[in-house]
């Protein structure tokens, strides 16, 4: 009798398990839904829809710098900024850039209340957005979720990071809580809020797909958060927040074939945006640190040729009379750490230097001739018009180029100094030289770390390299030097 009762109870328990599990799953989804709704209620009142009027000539064709050569990244896809209507820098390519007459342009984007100044003599609300949203604006009008509208003016802009701050005359709007983007993990839930296609205060949900995206070719200074939260034209400048409603990024760009979301969006980390915005508010401009080196990735081929393991980044050139030169940095040094932090990519290193206040004394760990060395360097001040440069490193499988000793005639033809190396006068199609980016007019300064002043020296070094079938070249192009490894195995 007892056995029958126990069996009946067990069967009842087994058959109720699926129903119980299903109910638990539904309840979990309800809780997740409520979390997103809570974020929307908390954040939306401080998010703004931005309308911009601008009277100027239509923008000329502007190509992003392409880290993979002339082709755009992601198989020639177009990285589009979110500026609804007219997109700065995104006109369809034409063979000639024909000037257009000045015309009234309308644009739109998003932003969010970042900081409030409520001192005795001030009553301002500062709004963070993208530079490309308000660039060349004649009139800026913003609208809050409650329907209140204000005219805004630009506090400051920074095209190099695509960060801008605008302000309105009120302080009765709450500022959003700012999170710490350095603590963000891949896989975390994030929420994007903005005005895609002019649809004010739209919320989309996704996860952090990746962090530290650099070399995208959008801004001079990049360290993007990648997310699959659906963001579209008009989302530019809107906040990317975590489930606590704290801002961890500012939506900036998308990767798209159609102009709409394809699940790849990029946001500026709030730690970077906040630093830039505070300088714009306090000083009206951004002051960046300057080291004075041209850097390039330390590829596996280069590391092998230097006889070291692959870590850090390579100094391809040291600017004369720069902080780097004064500190004793040399061409060919490998930068391992900066301020005690490991250097893993060009983009992050460039950002670290730029965010270091001028006159700050900092420490660099380098690798020179296989030996580690610590150098103290006093960071300088970056000139406003200074270009951000780094030399890309490439390698290939096949050799083919013609070189000549630099004669006075060749020096005049290629606008170079005599006896500064040898000049490349011809490059064969589909050769290792072509694939490595060597072109007609490139100057070869060194081969296997030895200075070359004529073709005889160069050919002798190449002959000596036939055993390894590999040579390291120091090449000068467009005033920038870079190391290249050529393999002809």
**Distance between CA atoms of 78 and 257, rounded to whole angstroms?**
7
String of DSSP letters for 347-360? HHHHHHHHTSPTT-
462, with CB counted inside 10 A (0-12, 13-18, 19+), is middle
**Distance between CA atoms of 469 and 488, rounded to whole angstroms?**
6
Catalytic residue of the set 46, 54, 110, 132: 132
Cβ-contact 226, 244 below 8 angstroms: no
Cβ-contact 281, 156 below 8 angstroms: yes
Residue 397 appears among annotated catalytic residues: no
Residue 228 appears among annotated catalytic residues: no
**Distance between CA atoms of 410 and 426, rounded to whole angstroms?**
13
Catalytic residue of the set 135, 158, 162, 301: 162
Residue 236 appears among annotated catalytic residues: yes
Q: What is the DSSP letter of 153?
A: E
Q: What is the DSSP letter of 246?
A: -
Catalytic residue of the set 200, 236, 305, 396: 236
Query: Which residues, 6 or more positions from 252, have their beta carbon under 8 angstroms from its beta carbon?
Result: 81, 82, 130, 162, 218, 224, 236, 237, 266, 267, 268
**Distance between CA atoms of 401 and 438, rounded to whole angstroms?**
9
Q: Which of 299, 302, 305 is nearest to 468 (CA)?
A: 305
359: left (phi over 0), alpha (psi -120 to 50) or beta: left
**Distance between CA atoms of 381 and 308, rounded to whole angstroms?**
33
Residues assigned a catalytic role: 132, 162, 236
């Amino acid at each position: 009798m007892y056995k029958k009762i126990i069996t009946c109870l067990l069967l009842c328990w087994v058959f109720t398990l699926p129903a119980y599990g299903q109910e638990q799953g539904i309840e979990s989804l309800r809780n997740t839904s409520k979390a997103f709704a809570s974020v929307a209620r908390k954040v939306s009142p401080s998010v703004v829809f931005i309308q911009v009027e601008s009277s100027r000539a239509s923008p000329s064709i502007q190509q992003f710098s392409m880290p993979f050569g002339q082709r755009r990244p992601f198989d020639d896809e177009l990285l589009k900024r979110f500026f609804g209507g007219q997109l700065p820098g995104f006109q369809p390519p034409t063979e000639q850039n024909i000037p257009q007459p000045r015309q009234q342009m309308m644009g739109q984007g998003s932003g969010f209340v970042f900081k409030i100044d409520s001192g005795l003599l001030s009553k301002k609300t500062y709004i963070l957005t993208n530079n490309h949203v308000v660039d060349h604006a004649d009139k800026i009008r913003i609208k809050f979720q409650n329907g209140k509208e204000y005219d805004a003016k630009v506090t400051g802009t920074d095209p190099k990071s695509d960060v801008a701050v605008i302000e309105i005359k009120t302080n009765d709007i709450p500022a959003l809580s700012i999170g710490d983007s350095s603590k963000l993990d891949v896989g975390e839930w994030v929420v994007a809020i903005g005005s895609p296609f002019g649809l004010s205060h739209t919320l989309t949900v996704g996860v952090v797909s990746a962090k530290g995206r650099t070399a995208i070719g959008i801004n001079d200074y990049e360290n993007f958060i990648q997310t699959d939260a659906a963001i579209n034209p008009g989302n530019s400048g809107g906040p990317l927040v975590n489930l606590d409603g704290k801002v961890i990024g500012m939506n900036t760009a998308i990767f798209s074939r159609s102009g709409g979301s394809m699940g790849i969006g990029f946001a500026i980390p709030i730690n970077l945006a906040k630093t830039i915005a505070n300088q714009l508010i306090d000083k009206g401009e951004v002051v960046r640190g300057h080291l004075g080196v041209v850097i390039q990735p330390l590829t596996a081929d280069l590391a092998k040729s230097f006889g070291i393991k692959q870590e850090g980044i390579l100094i391809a050139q040291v600017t004369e009379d720069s902080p780097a030169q004064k500190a004793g940095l040399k061409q060919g040094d490998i930068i391992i750490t900066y301020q005690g932090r490991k250097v893993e990519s060009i983009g992050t290193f460039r950002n670290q230097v730029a965010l270091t206040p001028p006159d700050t004394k900092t420490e660099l760990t380098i690798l020179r001739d296989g030996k580690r060395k610590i150098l103290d360097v006093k960071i300088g001040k970056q000139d406003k018009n200074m270009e951000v440069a780094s030399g890309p490193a490439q390698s290939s499988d096949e050799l083919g180029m013609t070189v000549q000793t630099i004669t006075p005639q060749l020096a005049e033809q290629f606008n170079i100094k005599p006896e500064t190396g040898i000049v490349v006068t011809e490059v064969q199609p589909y050769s290792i030289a072509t694939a490595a980016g060597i072109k007609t007019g490139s100057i070869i300064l060194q081969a296997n770390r030895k200075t070359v002043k004529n073709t005889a020296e160069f050919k002798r070094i190449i002959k000596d390299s036939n055993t390894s079938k590999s040579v390291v070249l120091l090449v000068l192009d467009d005033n920038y030097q870079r190391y290249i490894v050529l393999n002809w195995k």
